[in-house]
Each structure stands twice: as structure tokens, then as C-alpha cells.
Amino acid sequence: MYEHHRQPVLSRHEFLRRVTRHGIVSFVAVAFSLALGTTGYHLFARLDWIDALLNASMILTGMGPVAVLSTDAAKLFASLYALYSGIVFLAATGVFFAPFLHRILHKLHAEG
């Protein structure tokens, strides 16, 4: 997927295509996770859609929950979603920034 350190640095156009592909993958992962969380909070915590979206967004970005959860099912979902969200958000961030880090290392002729 990435060029070897002995190969020339990608052209600006090819680099922007790579960044776009990585951005799309990151966006899809975050959007899917947000949809999953919103649906879960709506079904398990019986929150309105906008409140479920707010709660899912806050958990996904690591800010913490907004709504008070009263049922055991809602609390269990929130726990699992928080664990899942931490992994997905870090992975999506890594995927998004990987081309930039690779380009910097490639320009410095460092092996990665």
C-alpha cells in the first residue's frame, strides 16, 4: 500500500488521493459507530433520537455520557459501546493520520 523507502515520494496528486481514501475509511468507521450508538441508546435507554445522538457522540469522542441511564440493559449497552468507541476512535484517528506520518518518515528516509 505504501511505497518502499527506496522508492520516490508520491506526487502531490497521488498523495492527496491516498489521504482522501484514508479519510473516507475513517469517516465511514466513525459514521457507522455513531449510527450504532444512536440506535442503541434509542432502543435500550429509550432516549429520543436527538438525545441518543448526543449521548453517542459524547461517548464516541471520549467526553462522557449526558443522559442518566435507568435500566440495566441501557447501562450494559453504554458500557460495551464506551469500550467499542474508544477502540474505534483511536483506530480511525490512526488510519486518518497514517499517510501524513508515512510521508514525513519517507522524506526523512526513515524505515517504518
d(Cα 52, Cα 35) in Å, to the nearest integer? 10
Max Cα-Cα span within the chain: 58
CATH number of 13-107: 1.10.287
Query: Which helix (H) or strand (E) element contains residue 56?
Result: helix 49-60
C-beta neighbour count of 56 within 10 angstroms: 26
Domain boundaries, the chain: 13-107
Nearest CA to 84 out of 49, 45, 35 is that of: 35
User: pLDDT, tens digit, for every residue of 60-87?
Assistant: 998 988 999 999 999 999 999 999 999 9
What's the whole-model pTM score? 0.84
DSSP letters spanning 70-84: -SHHHHHHHHHHHHH
